Amino acid sequence: MRLLFLGDMVGKSGRTAVWERLPGLISDLRLDFVIVNGENAAGGFGITEDIYLETINAGADVVTTGNHVWDQKEAVVFADRHEQFLRPANYPSGTPGRGSGIYYARNGARILVANIMGRVFMHPELDDPFKSAEAILAACPLKEQADAIVFDFHAEATSEKQCFGHFVDGRASFVVGTHTHVPTADCQILNGGTGYMSDAGMCGDYDSSLGMDKEEPLNRFISKMPKGRFEAASGPATICGVGVDISDSSGLAEKIAPLRIGPRLEETIPPFWS
């Protein structure tokens, strides 16, 4: 089974690049399942229903989010309407939407996708992510109710991300970090067989500060005074993510590698997909 995860779409540049390239990637790379983090897709802050639907229409099977999930107020309304839209599962009980779900891949496999948010340096501070993951895994164990299990762990601290990976190692197919918008160089398969990467990076303009026009962030670091609002950078986007081949028999990762397509970073396609 072949899975692609794309990091946080940032602004119009990032989401447009994903919409334009994803259909071809699905066909050319023979992808069975695609997950896209969309929490920064609307001008860098949150996601609208139209953007969500366009991302699904482009070929995404699930859209995950994170701490910016409610920045666009309409998300509170549409979250309940769409099963393929996930907010962090460790929000308190009664929060709109869902934090995990079981979906069918193009090859017929059952994929459990869960969106979890870390707590170190994160706001708001949600329920314990480890307990939340344990409850999800207990309800739907790998190779019983699910043929593969994927966690989008939306967090700041790489230490928390790594510990989460070790916590579910051997019980999940793949753990990928989001939120920092910078792709890490630690794609690996953990000892128990779980694919892992601390951060997938972003789909956006890398001539920026984390996808935002660099002038205002730079001004605030220098002067400590705001001059205006943060605006999403509008230059050509680089698509960043990670590809995983998952064993049909064990549900664990067999191969993992980063994917980068665009003008700013060195382009790479997982070599085992060529």
- The residues carrying an active-site annotation are 68
Residue in the structure block whose two tokens are 């593969």: 148
Query: Among residues 196, 200, 232, which one has the least CA distance to residue 36?
Result: 200
Written as one string, the DSSP assignment of 169-233 is BTTBSEEEEESS-S--S--EE-TTS-EEES---EEB-SSSBTTB-THHHHHHHHHSS--S---B-
Q: Give the chain's largest Cα–Cα span.
A: 57
Supply angle C-alpha 222, 227, 231, rounded to 5. 100
Written as one string, the DSSP assignment of 111-172 is EEEEEEE--TT-SS--S-HHHHHHHHHHHS-BTTTBSEEEEEEE-S-HHHHHHHHHHHBTTB
Q: Are 97 and 86 in contact (CB under 8 A)?
A: yes
Helix (H) or strand (E) holding 3: strand 2-6
